[in-house]
Amino acid sequence: MRFAHVRPREAAKAPRLVSVHGEELTFVDELFDGAPATLEALIAGGDELLDRVRDAAATSERHPLSDVEFASAVLAPPSILAVGLNYAAHSGELGLKTDAGPTVFVLWPNSLTAHGATTSWPRSLSEAVDYEAELGVIIGRPGRDVSEEDALDHVWGYTVVNDITARNIQFSEAQWSRCKSFDGFTPTGPFVVTADEIPDPQDLHIWTVVDGHTVQDASTGQMVRSVRTLIARLSESATLLPGTLISTGSPGGAGYSRDPQIFLRDRSTVTVGIDGIGELTTHCRILD
């Protein structure tokens, strides 16, 4: 199934969970008494609740997807874990070494934003803001010290993430959280696709288009560490809680490494996409 958080275009109301069927949607909280209103609530209900939602949505009233605007695909994850240097081409172009273990940092929740939203930042902080297309993995079952063999059984679904980065700050500080956690620097969505729809997360086309030009074009099969391996390694030291978002790293083609460099400009539009999951568009404004 395919889910999203949306709100009416004419009012700034709280986001509601919908199931998406082509160009139509169903409001999940209208399917039956006690139905979940958010993705987090749906995940917490386990397989039984998902099955009930799936059955009810099959014959439910539908509305045009064009009548709503998107909210972030995840609203309140217990943590947002980002993985750096997980594609050899990206590590090389940044002049950084892929470590023996995964490079992991935490993204701040204020950075979450939606498909179609505008992300803005002060010119005084950065004129070197970059894009990074990433596969987002959403945990469904809690797991501690999960084996690679069992790792995908803990995945609830997948989404698209743009790990926007202020490169000047990234290379001036010892940690990477702040440079990637400006307000609106973690667009997600527009959709979350349940794990059964993605038989192999290492066989997905991932790409980025900036102002009409394709700048990233790769496969998730090029990851240094697969989704299975990342879940196993991350769960060695801490329990991965349901709803946790793992952003799994970006392929080569970052604007920082290009000659000439390509950074997100005032009024740039960047779309990152993963075949089978969706296309995530962000509009950019630089504030003087």
- CATH classification of the domain holding 136: 3.90.850.10
75 within domain boundaries: no
112 within domain boundaries: yes
* Averaged pLDDT score across all residues of the chain: 95
- Is the same domain home to 44 and 108? no
- Is the same domain home to 41 and 154? no
Q: Is the pLDDT of residue 11 over 60?
A: yes
- Is the same domain home to 35 and 133? no
Residue whose entry in the numeric block shows the structure tokens 């900036």: 210
pLDDT band at 96 (very low <50, low <70, confident <90, very high): low
- Is the same domain home to 7 and 119? no
- Is the same domain home to 91 and 212? yes
What is the reported pLDDT for 90? 57
61 within domain boundaries: yes
Chosen domain end from 32, 47, 70: 70
- Is the same domain home to 64 and 91? no
| Structural domain span for residue 235 | 80-287
Q: For residue 133, which amino acid is it?
A: A
**Could you report the per-residue pLDDT of 78-92, keeping only the tens digit for each?**
999 999 989 886 566
- Is the same domain home to 57 and 141? no
Number of domains, the chain: 2
- Is the same domain home to 105 and 39? no
What is the reported pLDDT for 102? 85
In angstroms, rounded to a whole number, what is the distance separating the alpha carbons of residues 121 and 129?
9
What is the reported pLDDT for 214? 97
**Could you report the per-residue pLDDT of 224-270, keeping only the tens digit for each?**
999 999 999 999 999 999 999 999 999 999 999 898 999 999 999 99
| Sequence-distant (≥ 6) Cβ neighbours of residue 194 within 8 angstroms | 1, 2, 3, 50, 156, 157
The torsion angles phi and psi of 90, rounded to 5 degrees, stand at: -70, -40
pTM: 0.95
**Could you report the per-residue pLDDT of 161-211, keeping only the tens digit for each?**
999 999 999 999 999 999 999 999 999 999 999 999 999 999 999 999 999
